[in-house]
Amino acid sequence: MTTPNLRDKALLLHSLHTTDRPLALANGWDVASARIIEEAGAAAVATTSCGVAWSLGYADGDRLPRELALALIGRIASAVGVPVSADIESGFGEDAAGVAETVRGVIAAGAVGINIEDALADGPEPLRTIAGQAERIAAARRAADEADVPLFINARTDVYLRAVGEPEERLGAALERAAAFIEAGASGIFVPGVTDLAVVAELAKNITAPLNILTGPGGPSVAELAGAGAARVSIGGRMAEAAYGVVRHEAREFLADGTCTPAVDGLGYGDLQALFPSSS
């Protein structure tokens, strides 16, 4: 059995998915970024798989060892007071049993939501079969139920992101996958690669669960996506990319010219210190 606090956080995470005021997720990748996001007023913190992988020395795409991912999830969940949703890529498991083991680890680490994607990093096809992915989602739901945690399972389909099939076929394919994933136990559906508000509206109208859309620079605002029916809006690896871009800019300048012109206004030492307890 889980603690009431963990169950309460899971229920809170579910309640934050509304079209009136969508859950805006600025994705973090380490403890400091998660604390900064929380301090900025976030109602929840989600991790970004690419940022997490890069910070730990791995490429994105099912290459990060499960134990390293779970350890970081635990550190983030212990450092923030808001609900945490963990990006577990395609589940860190070869089969459904492996996904269930990952979910048990996610819950033990203190997270109350997951992203799980249907993409195949190195397979013969860009996406898992619908039946195969539904089996993995069902295993995740059973593992969460056994732990008595109403885990928010954000089931991602990469039909648009991977440009699978002909353009006119993608909406139907995404809806078919969404319906199967919801039946298997998904709490919400994530469709990255879509920013056309008309397509977002069609997805929202036909998916019987909260819809998550990915945005970024030049993309629709949270308010615009809410108007189209999205209940959750995230920016994925955008902030990790920006942070590492600053590091590259300043490192190159310093090493080439011996000067250090800030690319952006950084946080001061005292501001960062204040985010963390003074004693362990």
Distance, CA of 59 to CA of 40 (rounded, Å): 28
- Digit-coded pLDDT (tens) for 53-83: 999 999 999 999 999 999 999 999 999 999 9
- Digit-coded pLDDT (tens) for 201-244: 999 999 999 999 999 999 999 999 999 999 999 999 999 999 99
Q: Is residue 57 part of a domain?
A: yes
Q: Is residue 253 part of a domain?
A: no
Exposed/middle/buried for 195, CB within 10 Å: 0-12, 13-18, 19+? Answer: middle
Q: Is residue 222 part of a domain?
A: yes
Long-range contact pairs involving 176-181 (C-beta distance under 8 Å, separation at least 24): 176/130, 177/118, 177/130, 177/133, 178/203, 178/206, 178/207, 178/209, 179/207, 179/208, 180/130, 180/131, 180/133, 180/134, 181/118, 181/133, 181/134, 181/137, 181/155, 181/157
- More confident call, 131 vs 279: 131
- Into how many domains does the chain fold? 1
Q: Is residue 274 part of a domain?
A: no
Q: Is residue 133 part of a domain?
A: yes
Q: Is residue 248 part of a domain?
A: no
Per the DSSP assignment, residues forming a β-bridge with 232 are 23, 212
Res 2 pLDDT > 60: no
Q: What is the mean pLDDT of residues 24-32?
A: 97
- More confident call, 123 vs 75: 75
pLDDT of res. 1 = 41
Q: What is the mean pLDDT of residues 255-271?
A: 92
Average pLDDT, the chain: 95
pTM as predicted: 0.95
Determine which of 172-176, 197-201, 276-280 has the lowest per-residue pLDDT on average: 276-280
Q: What is the CATH number of the domain that holds 14?
A: 3.20.20.60
- Digit-coded pLDDT (tens) for 76-118: 999 999 999 999 999 999 999 999 999 999 999 999 999 999 9
Q: Is residue 243 part of a domain?
A: no
Q: Is residue 249 part of a domain?
A: no
pLDDT of res. 264 = 86
Domain that includes residue 155, residue range: 4-237
- Digit-coded pLDDT (tens) for 181-213: 999 999 999 999 999 999 999 999 999 999 999
